[in-house]
Structures are given as C-alpha cells and as structure tokens.
Amino acid sequence: MNFINLGKKIYNLNNPREAHRFAVFLARCCLHPQRMARLEEFFTQSEILKKISDVYPFVYEQPTRAFFYHRSTFDERMTLVTDHMKFLTENLREDFLVDVYAEKPFELWKMPIDDETGDLHLVFYVKPGQRKESLMSIMFQLDDETPIYQILFWIARADLLKLDESCDGYAMWIGAMQGPNVDNAKEIIKVITKKSHAYRTKNLILYAAQSLARALNLQKIFAVTNEGYYANNHIRSDRKLKTSFSDFWEECGGHLTSDERFFSLPLIETRKSPEEIPTRKRAVYRRRFEMLDELDAAVKNVVKNISK
C-alpha cells in the first residue's frame, strides 16, 4: 500500500493542521505495518469493500487515531471498522452502501412540520466530519439539509469489549448524539416538538436509532457514557461534552455496564399503558404512538428494500 497517496486522499495538504495530521498518519502507518497490511487485505478482498474504501478512505485512518471512545486501542478500532463493514456488505445492497459512503443522504422517513419549516427528514448519513465518533449516522434534517439531531454509531459484534458475553450477535454502538447548531435552534426544536405531540426531538432521534437497530436485527445497543466519550482522549477542554449523555441514557431506560465507558440501552422504548396516562393527555399520547408506529413501519420497509 502506498501510504503517501492514501494520505493525500484523506487530508487537505494546503491546510497546515491537515498537513501535520498527514505526517502523523504516515508515521503511525510505518509503526504498525502488519496492522495496516491486515486492513488492506480486508478492504481488497471484494469489489464492494474496494469501492467503499475508495469513496471513503478514512477507514484506513480511523484505526490509527484515538477515535470512537475513550481509551480505545488500535486493535479494537480495527476490529470495529472491519466488523461494521462486514455486517453492512453481507446484509445491504452494494449501490446503497457506495452512495451513502459517497456522502449521499438516504431517506428513511419524513414528517411534514409546517409551511415555514417544511419537512423533517430522517436519513442515513455519512460525512468525514463524523469519523471521530462513528462510521455512520442516522439524522433528522430539514429540507435545506440543516442538521437537527443525529445519532452517530457503528455496528460491531456485541462482545467487542466483553460487555455481554452471552450475546454473540451484532450490536449498534453509539459514539455520540448531537443536537442542532444553528442560531434559531430553540425555535426549530419547539416547532418540531409540538408537531411530534410533545415528544422531545432528542427522544425521537433515539427512538429512530432503536427502530433502525431492530430493522437490522441487531441484538444490543451500547452507548458511550460521559466517561467513554472519545474527546476524553484529548487535552482540549473545548471538545468536552456540553450535555450529559449518561443522564439521558439512564432517563431512557439504559443502565451502566461493567465498563464505565458504556451504557446498555433497550432495543425498544417502553410505552405507558392507557391506565398510566392521565385522561386529559390520552389523545396526545395516542397520536404520538401513531406517529412512532408510522416511523417504525417506514424504517422497516426501507431497510427491507436496501437489504440483499
């Protein structure tokens, strides 16, 4: 493998910071020649893996950097990258995978909001800027592609970190959840929450991730805690969390695993029974559950269509 040519595809050498990262990448490749050779062997074993690594060469960079979660090792990062790609290429269509890794959003569901806001779109999305925390994301965005909320994740075997050795299948691993970063974020979220029958948008994006995990027949969902967030690998204080992942995961029915870096989340949200809902709110909850059922049906249908 020509690491110099590969690095030029990954980094913009006209940017001094990127040029420095390019030099560090070359050094790490030289320090880990056997690992990089195994990565190359994996991504050249089939045409689809070659195509994905061609449009998304970052799969060679991600194992070399302190990405995904706090105190991740080179071997763990290499395993989760190959697990993720193995699962996708064995289960999903080639055309979908090449398009999504070429940064083309793929719609799973949409909900009309109002004439001013337009529609809220739920999409599969992959962007190089997300590669520190993930290999893929599921995101809500507006008609103009303004990001609203997103769950960044990868798919790997559930026993990657021996969190649940009773499960030998695949799991969704959530590396981050991100909210909107626009001036009128509060106003947008207020409008979407009202349209979602008082269901918070961050709960809705987690519900969508759970729906996707079920549609893909994944057996577990793990999510990084505050302790497990990847930026804890670095000194810069401006990359630390502004909100608490751990508090939200616990609020949504998750529990801390034996590894303080990860929560285990339920595959499906527990719904209140009619008896638990005050009479005056039952109509709102009924409409909310109908919306969530529509989301589930749409996600299941799309996953069926993009499956082999």
Q: What is the pLDDT along the chain (308 residues), one digit of tens a residue?
A: 899 999 999 999 999 999 999 999 999 999 999 999 999 999 999 999 999 999 999 999 999 999 999 999 999 999 999 999 999 999 999 999 999 999 999 999 999 999 999 999 999 999 999 999 999 999 999 999 999 999 999 999 988 888 876 778 999 999 999 999 888 999 999 999 999 999 999 999 999 999 999 999 999 999 999 999 988 765 444 455 567 899 999 999 999 999 999 999 999 999 988 889 999 999 999 999 999 999 999 999 999 999 99
Instruction: Judge whether 262 lies within some domain.
Output: yes
* Residue 145 CA: distances (Å) to CA of 111, 179, 188, 290: 14, 14, 14, 26
Distance CA 275, CA 210 (A): 25
Name, in order, each residue with C-beta under 8 angstroms of 294's C-beta and a sequence gap of 6 or more. 109
Instruction: Judge whether 250 lies within some domain.
Output: yes
Q: What are the backbone dihedrals phi and psi of residue 119, each rounded to the nearest 5 degrees, phi first?
A: -100, 155
207-263 pLDDT, tens digit per residue, is: 999 999 999 999 999 999 999 998 876 544 445 556 789 999 999 999 999 999 999
Instruction: Judge whether 31 lies within some domain.
Output: no
Instruction: Judge whether 40 lies within some domain.
Output: no
Q: How many residues does the chain have?
A: 308
Distance CA 19, CA 221 (A): 37
> What is the reported pLDDT for 102?
96
Instruction: Judge whether 188 lies within some domain.
Output: yes
> What is the reported pLDDT for 160?
86
> What is the reported pLDDT for 168?
80
Instruction: Judge whether 19 lies within some domain.
Output: no
Q: Which amino acid is residue 296, in one-letter code?
A: D
Query: HSE of 109 in the Cβ direction (CA atoms, 13 Å)?
Result: 23
Instruction: Judge whether 219 lies within some domain.
Output: yes
Instruction: Give DSSP secondary structure letters for the chain.
Output: --HHHHHHHHS-TTSHHHHHHHHHHHHHHHH-HHHHHHHHHHHTSSHHHHHHHHH-THHHHGGGSS-SSTT--HHHHHHHHHHHHHHHHHHB-HHHHHHHHTT--EEEEEEEEETTTEEEEEEEE--GGGTTT-SEEEEEE-TT--EEEEEEEEEEETTTTSS-TT--SEEEEEEEEE---STTHHHHHHHHHHHTTS--HHHHHHHHHHHHHHHTT--EEEEE-TTT-GGGGS--GGGS-SS-HHHHHHHTT-EE-SSTTEEEE-SSPPPPPGGGS-GGGHHHHHHHHHHHHHHHHHHHHHHHHHB-
Instruction: Judge whether 178 lies within some domain.
Output: yes
Domain count, the chain: 1
User: Per the structure block, which two tokens stand in for 23?
Assistant: 């030099």
Torsional sign, CA 290, 296, 299, 300:
negative
Q: What is the pTM of this model?
A: 0.94
Q: Which domain holds residue 141?
A: 103-306
